[in-house]
Amino acid sequence: MTQRIPLHDLAPEAGVGRHDPAGTPPRGRPATRTHLYVREIRGVFQRLRRRANWGLMALYLVLPWIRWGERPLVWFDLPSREFHLFSATFYPQDFILLAWLLIVCAFGLFLITVLAGRVWCGYACPQSVWTFLFIWFEHRLEGPRHRRMRRDRAPRRFDTLWRKAVKHGAWLTIAFITGLTFVGYFTPIRDLVSDLATLEMGPWALFWIGFFTLFTYLNAGWLREQVCLHMCPYARFQSVMFDPNTLIVSYDAARGEPRRDRRHKAGGQSVPTGDCIDCEQCVQVCPTGIDIRDGLQYECIGCAACIDACDDVMERIGKPRGLVRYTTERALAGKASHILRPQLVGYAIGLAVMIALIVAFMVERTPLQFEIERDRQRLFTQVAEGRVVNHYTLTLRNQDDRAHRFHLAATGLPALSLIGPEVMAVEANSTQRWRVALEAAPEALSRPSHPVTLRVVAAGDGALAIERETRFLGPSDPH
């Protein structure tokens, strides 16, 4: 017999406002954005999040001001194509290190995601950090959630206007400090602030400070959760890395359902319900406006605001905490969770391998760059007694933070003579060029081309050395 196929409404509005996990969960979000009035909540996880946010923000703001010798501790010197980090200086030829660092960050993020879900988004992502800071100022200047909603619905009054003006002024101030600090990673911030105070700042510096000021103001003040929901690619693909053992923020439906009031009257008899009293505190504190009771959703950033809100309500009504909690799908199903699993081990191995490669690169890396360029105008010249001379231009880059005197030596042919300065002083983080010539007897040349090696060694530091191979050319018939 033909069976009826059930139909499901997949329109964006289907399920909006419906919070009954016994039925079909919401399948979409409204096409138009609804302004979120986020309720402030206090609790264990929010204290942890705020401390992490303040620490990360302090690190971001302070780093450009710290100096290492005569330069900033962290400095992207784009005109000189140099990146300074502590005592190390990196150049374009060290680009492979940047690629490895990006891979390490990616594997680290994957590892954290598999293990603990989107804790990066909730506790350390710059978008979340600045958004929560803007919300904090909004709450202090415009009042709690219900007052903000009441003021926005009412006709504009002076009390509302001055509060909003001060709020946006605070947002712009924070955004300006953020933009100034960001540019301070590329231009020494002390010079930047001095130029700003004396109105001598260049147009490009002003442009980028203004750009990042506007960028921060719009992202953290206006777009907020829209960045997480629609602009951030991580929100879209992170669920692919989840498994039943991933730690997520979840609602215990078995304990909380059926919800409504604390007790429901039916036929004159008391019908017990679950622990959830449908107060919607978990929805009101969510920075992305979702209902965690609808199950795992890509919009959840794992900030645990709903956990703190629900725990507070449970304590007030005399119920155990943990109706909404960090848990795993297996734990909710009454099964044991497993920490070690193939996906997690794979990411851990990949992360360890990349870190080992970076460490090996840094250990083997010599803070010297040495280049040899042959004279293009003449392959070789012959002088008295038929001796053959080759001319070269040497370029030595001292990437160390100290000046050195370097000794030059040539090997590869019998009785090979070096004509030119054998000792060269090179200042810290600078380049020196000089011309030399190599001279060999004709009887030492058995063929037109011979490999020779030029070696540069720092005086008093034999470990600081570098060598390069080049060719010594002679006549096709040296004899």
Type of residue found at 81:
R
Q: Which CATH number fits domain 368-473: 3.30.565.10, 3.30.420.40, 3.30.2020.30, 2.60.40.10?
A: 2.60.40.10
86: left (phi over 0), alpha (psi -120 to 50) or beta: left
Type of residue found at 127:
Q
Among candidates 313, 274, 276, which has minimal Cα distance to 292?
276
Helix (H) or strand (E) holding 371: strand 368-374
Q: What is the DSSP string of 34-64?
A: ----PPP--SHHHHHHHHHHHHHHHHHHHGG
Tokens standing for residue 179: 């933009």
Instruction: Tell me if residue 339 falls in helix, strand or coil.
Output: coil
Supply the mean pLDDT for the chain: 88
Q: Which residues contact residue 367 at a Cβ distance below 8 angstroms, ignoring those fewer than 6 apart?
A: 88, 89, 398, 399, 400, 464
Type of residue found at 135:
I
Q: Answer whether 244's CB lies under 8 Å from 329's CB.
A: yes
Tokens standing for residue 290: 């979702």
Q: Residue 271 gets which letter from DSSP?
A: E
pLDDT score for 478? 58
Distance separating alpha carbons of residues 128 and 303, to the nearest angstrom: 9
Instruction: Tell me if residue 172 falls in helix, strand or coil.
Output: helix
pLDDT digits (tens, 9 = 90+) for 94-114: 888 888 888 999 999 999 999
Q: Answer whether 256's CB lies under 8 Å from 274's CB.
A: yes
Type of residue found at 136:
W
Distance separating alpha carbons of residues 273 and 112, to the nearest angstrom: 37
Q: Residue 245 gets which letter from DSSP?
A: T
Q: Answer whether 183's CB lies under 8 Å from 212's CB.
A: yes
Rg of the chain (C-alpha set)? 33
Among candidates 63, 70, 75, 59, which has minimal Cα distance to 187?
75
Distance separating alpha carbons of residues 413 and 411, to the nearest angstrom: 6
Q: Answer whether 330's CB lies under 8 Å from 245's CB.
A: yes
Distance separating alpha carbons of residues 50 and 248, to the nearest angstrom: 20
pLDDT score for 239? 80
Distance separating alpha carbons of residues 426 and 433, to the nearest angstrom: 10
Among candidates 383, 211, 236, which has minimal Cα distance to 299?
236
pLDDT score for 366? 80
Q: Answer whether 228's CB lies under 8 Å from 234's CB.
A: no
pTM: 0.80
Instruction: Tell me if residue 353 falls in helix, strand or coil.
Output: helix
Among candidates 2, 476, 21, which has minimal Cα distance to 255?
21
Residue 373 phi, psi dihedral angles, 5° rounding: -125, 125
pLDDT score for 16? 42
pLDDT score for 271? 66
- Each domain of the chain, given as residue ranges in start order, spans 8-365, 368-473
| List of the chain residues with pLDDT < 70 | 1-32, 261-271, 478-479
pLDDT score for 396? 92
pLDDT score for 40? 95
Could you write out the three-class secondary structure of 272-334? ECCCCCCCCHHHHCCCCCCCHHHCCCCCCCCCCHHHHHHHHHHHHCCCCCCCEEEECHHHHCC
Residue 352 phi, psi dihedral angles, 5° rounding: -65, -40
